Every structure is written in C-alpha cells, then in structure tokens.
C-alpha cells in the first residue's frame, strides 16, 4: 500500500469524501456515498474520512464521539471499503486541514455563507447555538477536499451546493495565488446524484432526524420489517395508468435499490392496471431490505468490537492522508507567498 502515494498518484485521479459521525449510517449514506467509495477504490487514489470536526458544529458534546467514529469506520469497512486500498482516516488527525480552512476563510464571503441551504436549515434546528463553525461549515468541507487536490467527490444530492461553493473557493484561490487546485465535482458514476427518500414520504433518510422513517444499516430484521410495513401508502390508483403520488414513487425508488427487476416490473404492472396490493409490495420490499442490510450489520458488529484493528486502520489512514496533505500545504504556502526564508 505504500505504493498509493509513491507510484500511483501520478496516474490515478484523486477522490475524496467524508461522513459525519452524528448517528448510525443509513441507506441514504450507502447509496448516496459509500457504494461509490467501494466502486472507486480499485481505480482511483481515494481519501475517505470520518468528519468528526464537522460534527462538533451540531454535536459539541464529545462523550459518544469515539464510539461514533469507530462505528462509522466499521460500517464503511463492512460495506466493502478496504483500508489497504484507500486512506480511511479521521478528519481531526490531519492538522493541515485546519490550516487550509483558515486560509480559505479569507476567500469566503459571509453573505454567501449565510445563504447556504444547510446553514439555514441548521439554524432553524438549533437557534440556541448558531456558532461560526456552522456558518463556515462549507469552507471546512472545501479544505477537506482540496487538501488532497481531489477532483471527484462521491456524495449524495444534498451535498451539491457545498461542492459548488468548494469550486468557488478553488477558483478564487487559483485566481489570486496561482493554479494550485483542480475544480472538485460531485460524482456518481455518470449518473444523477442520489437522494434516498424517507419511508414516510416527507424528505430524505437522515442520521439524526426522522428516525422511524429511515432504514439504518444497524437495524435488526424485525425493525426493518416494522419500518417498511409502516411506509405511507393509500388505497391504490382509481384509474389505469395513473401518475404515482410522491410517496408511492418513493417506495418504487426504494425498491429499485434492493429488489430484482422482475419484482419491480410485476408491481409496476399491477399499479398500472389497478390491481396493486400495497401489503404484498411492502412485504416483498421488507424481505429484500432485510437480505440487503443483514450481512452489512453483522459484519459491522464484528468489526466494531475489534478496537485494536480499528486503531490500526485509523493510524494507517492518517499516515497516508498526512503525506498527501503535507505535500499540498507546501505548495499552498509557497504560492501564497508565506515562505520568507
């Protein structure tokens, strides 16, 4: 694996992404992000991290942080990520991130930060703690990405605006100090970015909100069945070939993630000719979800209990990430004129 930075970086495109340790990983995290990480790990130079610093903007209490970081690492590995192929690390272990974040803050305007959708959402949720870290959250995210001079960022649809902001900072930096960074783009194997909807037809699956309408990779079989059976449906279409209401469209979208083609065609045809039985559809979806989630959950549990292994993963990941970060920061300081001898 020493080859990752030494021999291959010149020939492989660089990929970076992160996940906050603010709760259990769910189907949205898997299909929006981790699935792509796993597909990318053989062909790209990959940096994937647990964004523990970002989590402090909303979760300042650190009592559970270590366990949460370990859980996210274990879940990533259980999904198929190989710590020997990628740099899998913890954000706070790479001090260079904070330095780059500081420089980028001088290129970020308060007005545009205040208009960011995630900032507006968060201040609605936590009016008692509108901290400056929350405001500059997208600046820290941009620092994470460009610290490795990454080009591709596998993320779900909700991160599109943050990526656009990262490109703005890159352009401002390059314009002022010289061509240092490539423009990072959100990535999903040539397809639209993914948004996995919640089971109640309102919004998306989420780590900390909407927990009964979110399927977590740690949910046991019965809980998965219970959540799916509660998904919002109705009495069925009144006329053949009717358009589907959003909440039914969402259920079909969830089926596309885990069910076979023939199952989807059968229930689509049943919907179109008004014979659909939502009870049967949900039973089938629940069983396919159970088959999908169970092996990941079992693997993650085993990995989570192996603290020594997780520590090794974190150390190895940090070492790889630091090497790339240090190389970038040398160039950054030089191009900014911060070297005086």
Of 35, 54, 151, 282, the one binding ligand TYM by CB under 6 A: 54
Query: Any catalytic annotation for residue 122?
Result: yes
Of 74, 113, 194, 215, the one binding ligand TYM by CB under 6 A: 194
Of 195, 232, 299, 316, the one binding ligand TYM by CB under 6 A: 195
Residue 270 near residue 276 (C-beta atoms within 8 A)? yes
Residue 161 near residue 118 (C-beta atoms within 8 A)? yes
> Distance of CA 274 to CAs 236, 268, 281, 329, Å?
7, 10, 13, 62
- Helix or strand run (H / E) with residue 1: none
Q: Which position among 66, 85, 120, 204 bears the catalytic label?
A: 204
Q: What is the 3-state secondary structure (H, E, C) of 251-320?
A: HHHHHHHHCCHHHHHHHHHHHHCCCCCHHHHHHHHHHHHHHHHHHHHHHHHHHHCCHHHHHHHHHHHHHH
Query: Could you tell me how many residues of this chain bind ligand TYM (CB under 6 A)?
Result: 26
Instruction: Compute the least distance from the CB of residue 240 to ligand TYM, in Å.
Output: 32
Query: Any catalytic annotation for residue 66?
Result: no
Residue number, 31 or 292, with CB nearest to ligand TYM: 31
* 280 HSE (CA, 13 A, CB side): 11
Instruction: Compute the least distance from the CB of residue 110 to ligand TYM, in Å.
Output: 20
Return the number of other C-beta atoms located less than 10 Å from residue 70's C-beta: 22
Query: Any catalytic annotation for residue 323?
Result: no
> Distance of CA 13 to CAs 5, 153, 295, 329, Å?
12, 11, 31, 19
Residue number, 15 or 310, with CB nearest to ligand TYM: 15
Of 100, 145, 147, 289, the one binding ligand TYM by CB under 6 A: 145
Binding to ligand TYM in span 154-193, by CB under 6 A: 155-156, 158-159, 162
> Distance of CA 166 to CAs 36, 138, 139, 153, Å?
20, 7, 7, 11
Q: Which position among 35, 66, 85, 122 bears the catalytic label?
A: 122
Of 14, 24, 32, 40, the one binding ligand TYM by CB under 6 A: 32
Of 81-89, 138-146, 220-228, 231-239: span binding ligand TYM (CB under 6 A): 138-146
141 binds ligand TYM (CB under 6 A): yes
Binding to ligand TYM in span 208-247, by CB under 6 A: none
Residue number, 162 or 276, with CB nearest to ligand TYM: 162
> Distance of CA 289 to CAs 231, 246, 265, 284, Å?
13, 21, 18, 9
Q: How far is 31 from 309, CA to CA, in rounded Å?
A: 26
Of 5-13, 29-37, 63-71, 288-296: span binding ligand TYM (CB under 6 A): 29-37
189 Rama sector, left if φ>0, alpha if ψ -120 to 50, beta otherwise: left
Q: Which position among 35, 85, 207, 227 bears the catalytic label?
A: 207
Q: How far is 88 from 111, CA to CA, in rounded Å?
A: 34
What torsion do the CA atoms of 143, 147, 148, 150 make, to the nearest 10 degrees?
40
Residue number, 157 or 283, with CB nearest to ligand TYM: 157
Q: How far is 228 from 199, CA to CA, in rounded Å?
A: 7
Instruction: Compute the least distance from the CB of residue 194 to ligand TYM, in Å.
Output: 5
Residue number, 151 or 162, with CB nearest to ligand TYM: 162
Of 4, 15, 19, 259, the one binding ligand TYM by CB under 6 A: 19
Residue number, 90 or 286, with CB nearest to ligand TYM: 90
Catalytic positions: 122, 204, 207
Point out which residues bind ligand TYM (CB under 6 A). 16-20, 28-29, 31-33, 51, 54, 141, 144-145, 153, 155-156, 158-159, 162, 194-196, 204-205
């Amino acid at each position: 694996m020493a080859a990752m930075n030494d021999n291959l970086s010149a020939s492989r495109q660089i990929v970076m992404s992160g996940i906050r340790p603010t709760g259990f990983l769910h189907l949205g995290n898997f299909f929006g992000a981790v699935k792509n990480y796993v597909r990318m790990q053989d062909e790209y130079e990959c940096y994937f991290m647990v964004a523990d610093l970002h989590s402090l903007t909303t979760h300042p209490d650190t009592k559970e942080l270590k366990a949460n970081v370990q859980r996210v690492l274990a879940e990533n590995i259980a999904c198929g990520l190989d710590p020997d192929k990628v740099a899998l690390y913890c954000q706070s272990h790479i001090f260079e991130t904070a330095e780059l974040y500081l420089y980028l803050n001088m290129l970020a305007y308060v007005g545009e930060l205040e208009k960011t959708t995630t900032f507006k959402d968060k201040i609605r949720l936590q009016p008692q703690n509108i901290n400056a870290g929350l405001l500059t959250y997208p600046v820290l995210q941009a620092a994470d990405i460009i610290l490795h001079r990454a080009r591709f960022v596998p993320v779900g649809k909700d991160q599109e605006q943050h990526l656009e902001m990262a490109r703005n900072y890159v352009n401002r930096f390059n314009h002022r100090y010289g061509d240092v960074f490539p423009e990072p783009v959100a990535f999903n194997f040539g397809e639209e970015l993914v948004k996995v909807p919640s089971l109640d037809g309102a919004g998306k699956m989420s780590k900390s909100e909407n927990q009964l309408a979110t399927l977590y990779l740690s949910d046991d079989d019965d809980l998965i069945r219970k959540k799916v059976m509660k998904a919002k449906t109705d009495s069925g279409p009144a006329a053949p070939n009717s358009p589907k209401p959003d909440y039914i469209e969402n259920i079909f979208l969830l089926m596309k993630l885990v069910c076979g083609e023939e199952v989807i065609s059968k229930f689509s045809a049943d919907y179109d000719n008004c014979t659909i039985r939502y009870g049967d559809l949900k039973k089938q979806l629940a069983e396919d979800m159970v088959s999908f989630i169970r092996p990941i959950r079992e693997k993650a549990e085993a990995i989570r209990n192996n603290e020594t292994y997780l520590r090794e993963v974190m150390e190895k990941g940090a070492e790889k990430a630091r090497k790339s970060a240090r190389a970038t920061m040398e160039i950054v300081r030089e191009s900014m004129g911060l070297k005086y001898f």
